[in-house]
Structure 1
Amino acid sequence: MYRRQAVFRIALCRRPLVQANRRFISSEKTPTSDAPHDSQSLPPGWEDEAPALSDFTELPHKDFGKNQLMETNEDFKRALRGILRQFPPITYAFAYGSGVFPQSAATASRTTQSPHPNAPEAILKWQKGGGKMIDFILTPKFSQHFHSLNLREHRDHYSFLGSLGSGVVSHVQDKYGAGAYFNPYITVNGTLIKYAVVNYETILRDLTDWETLYFAGRLHKPVKILHEEPNLRVANQRNLLSAVRCALLLLPPTFTEKELYSTIAGLSYQGDPRMQYGSENPKKIDNIVTHQIRNFRYLYHDLILSLPNIRYADDSATHKSGWMENHDLDLKMSQDMDPERRANMVRRLPKKFREKVYFQYRGKFGISGRQYQEMLEANKDEAAGGTLKKQVAGEFDKRIAGEKDIPQMVTKAINQTVKWPSTVQTLKGPFTAGLSKSWRYLQEKREKARMK
């Protein structure tokens, strides 16, 4: 059992923002190299622990979660961290999207004019000349405090809501949609960016419980983590493993690597109004997987090996030098369809999401309200004292695992999870970003969808 300590601290910084955040980033305790590691980093039983970590040395294993650290060149990473230093202190941050990792061959070789007014050379080189707006997620421990400091330094980043103060901004952020506050089309260090602020508790819950899949879904795909926190590293490892299990419930007995990764990448897009109403490229998921297969392998390969019910058809292929970098390779895979193994996967789905799956089958099986509540109580993840119970499939999980319509029921649960928060998050865009920026963003998305 890991040492239990309080996770939350209030860091009220009175020094200038740029200086404060520079000190905060430079004191991080993660290793200097962010290249993926081949070592096994999933010690047995780690999922049944619920520690509150105060330091990276308390992780279950010294290499635990290194699969999350996608490799980029050092100059690009420093340029991204230089952008972060212009903001108030944050606890966790990552950059994502096609501005960080190409999603098509056109993106990787674009020679059109860059959208960045005066970006560092490292960013222009990484984006191969053309460039795209870079997306960030910034996670402070307390978003109202972050907005209070940020409004003092960067009032021009905000819409009219900024005039109403940090309390209103953080209320709109937390109470509507998925819990994010987006500021798009912002120039920092000569680089055009879009950044979202999300509270620490919000992203932690989404990674562990899949409340909205808004942040968990972004982290299902390769991202560039720029600033870490040990509890969120553990939570994201749970999130990634949950994504594999959920994808397996949707897939047939045999499939390929790309089919697995496409299913994972597509989880958070199901029910997203942007996919339904033509403001996202319909080939987006295929583009992401095809052009980032190497990073998907680094992200998920160790997790796949840790599960007893999934295997590569040809294990020897994964032992060949350089196989992860081979974009033409699409290895065949299979899963064990034994009902007991599938029942255990159902039981280990994230809490809020699992309850939605249960609710689908409550209606199908005609279970009464009282019986259903008793079943939920018996299947609680938490034991007395706040510890996690060992998650072993119960009778209800086994009954579900025997049904042939699991893919359809899980898909319904995904849609229920994603649709409402994503819709509201989209609708609040004109208020948080302003009408002109929201319209510009929507038009650019539609244009990209028509071109591809």
Structure 2
Amino acid sequence: MALPVLSSSGVKFRRVLAHFPQELSLAFAYGSGVFRQEGASAGHGENNMLDFVFAVDDSVTWHMMNLLKNRSHYSFLKIFGPKQISNIQSYGAGIYYNTLVPCNGRMIKYGVISTDTLIDDLLHWKTLYVAGRLQKPVKILTQNENGKLQAALVSNLKSAVTAAFLMLPESFSEEDLYMQIAGLSYSGDFRMIIGEDRSKVQNIVKPNVPYFQKLYSNILQDCPQVVYKHHLGRLEIDKSPEGQFSQLMALPRSLQQKITSLVDPPGKNRDVEEILLQVAHDPDCGLVVHQGEVLQPFDQAVAMRDGPVPFQREMPTRSAAGPAHAPGESPILNNINRAELSNLEVKYNYMEDSTIQKVDPEWSINSAGMWLTVTGINLATSRAETCSLQLPGTPS
């Protein structure tokens, strides 16, 4: 089963494709320049950058041919040649982007990924970077007869449905399902907290439900664990421990590993099947799967026109208060690897240190067991409500 080619005209996209070497196993266009998003004006998409991904069997050869045709698309890295560019491509999510490229009167960006790397991401969700894009409607421009790639594309869609089932209730709408699927690749993404529209998933799904149906209707109709009431737009799934265990065992390897690392105590080293069986019986099974999805690694190596821009995200992030600071409000600065993110509306409030002013009573007999009343300033900010006393003549 190949991904369905969407019905809208692809002439303008294929004209762009004609500028590039044709040795492609898969090429697709995606994003707001291709599919309308909720809240966007009718002509808004015509001005958006067009986004493309090209999968190639031999990255070195493809970059060599592209350098001959489109040398200006590359940053200064072009002086190092196709082999070095391919080496850079292998880092992170295994995709190399040229961006801000003028083509046929539009600005485009395009990523190049090896076919083997793409297949690995589709099957195992190692980064979910390209696999996540292919869980949402895209415009397929060309696809060769690579059987392993075609099977991996379908497997990625089935995995998205399975993961969504685990995080949804027993009965839900078709739109709920597509919202859950579209949100998979955004789980834990700091861009959804700072700098991006938090309703992005809803904006993607609502105007494009028919395209999601083209992607997933056959999978839903063939799935033995769901009752698909297509005419009502409703679904019912098996939420028994047995049903959930079957779904957990069908998840991509990377997500299974994240779930087991959340559940299995360090050093216990239980079998994955045993751990997933435990999760299947957990009333919060869906929450555990969601937490595992949030912990998905997300790495990217991008080459921009003005130079290479390495970018990496690993979840969860950790916040720590700074050194001694005068009392009062202070802005929060998040350092995510080498990136610095701030939200000026959110403040951290530094307070005076806790000070004990009085302990009552001031003396007691040796038998202890007496209640003490401690009076002071900012005691509520103490990290622990304990008091340690040292009696005269006792070791510290």
Match of 2:210 in 1: 294
| C-alpha distance after superposition, 1:142-188 (max 9, x if no partner) | 1122112211221110111222222221111112x211111111122
CA distance in 2, matches of 1:269, 1:136: 19
Shift of 1:78: 2.9
Match of 2:185 in 1: 268
**Aligned with 1:159 (options 60, 72, 75):** 75
SS of 1:106 mapped into structure 2: coil
SS of 2:102 mapped into structure 1: strand
**Aligned with 2:7 (options 55, 59, 72):** 72
SS of 1:240 mapped into structure 2: helix
Shift of 1:352: 2.1
Match of 1:91 in 2: 25
1:329-368 superposed matches below 5 A: 331-363=233-265, 368=268
Say which one has the larger Rg: 2
Query: How many residue pairs get matched?
Result: 308
Match of 2:125 in 1: 210
CA distance in 2, matches of 1:261, 1:216: 15
In terms of fraction of residues, the more strand-rich structure is 2
How high is the sequence identity, in percent, across the aligned residues?
34
8 A Cα contact 2:263 2:275, kept in partner: no
Shift of 1:105: 4.5
* TM-score computed with the length of structure 2 as normaliser: 0.72
SS of 1:182 mapped into structure 2: strand
8 A Cα contact 1:251 1:407, kept in partner: yes
8 A Cα contact 1:70 1:295, kept in partner: no
Against the structure 1 CA distance between its residues 437 and 169, is the aligned structure 2 distance closer, same or farther, given a 3 Å change threshold? closer
1:15-34 superposed matches below 5 A: none
1:178 aligns with 2:93: yes
Match of 1:228 in 2: 143
SS of 1:317 mapped into structure 2: coil
Match of 2:155 in 1: 238
SS of 1:186 mapped into structure 2: strand
Against the structure 1 CA distance between its residues 97 and 316, is the aligned structure 2 distance closer, same or farther, given a 3 Å change threshold? closer
**Larger RCO: 1 or 2 (CA < 8 Å, sep 6+):** 1
CA distance in 2, matches of 1:341, 1:436: 46
Match of 1:188 in 2: 103
4+ residue segments displaced more than 4 Å: 435-438
Against the structure 1 CA distance between its residues 316 and 180, is the aligned structure 2 distance closer, same or farther, given a 3 Å change threshold? closer
AA aligned opposite 1:169: I
8 A Cα contact 1:93 1:137, kept in partner: yes
C-alpha RMSD of the superposition: 2.4
Shift of 1:264: 0.3
CA distance in 2, matches of 1:147, 1:308: 44
AA aligned opposite 1:317: H
List alignment gaps of at least 5 residues for structure 2.
Answer: 311-340, 342-396
Against the structure 1 CA distance between its residues 206 and 93, is the aligned structure 2 distance closer, same or farther, given a 3 Å change threshold? same
List alignment gaps of at least 5 residues for structure 1.
Answer: 1-63, 112-126, 319-330, 377-393, 439-445, 447-452
SS of 1:102 mapped into structure 2: coil
1:402 aligns with 2:284: no
Against the structure 1 CA distance between its residues 316 and 174, is the aligned structure 2 distance closer, same or farther, given a 3 Å change threshold? closer
Shift of 1:436: 11
8 A Cα contact 1:105 1:291, kept in partner: no
**Aligned with 1:259 (options 176, 182, 187):** 176
In terms of fraction of residues, the more helix-rich structure is 1
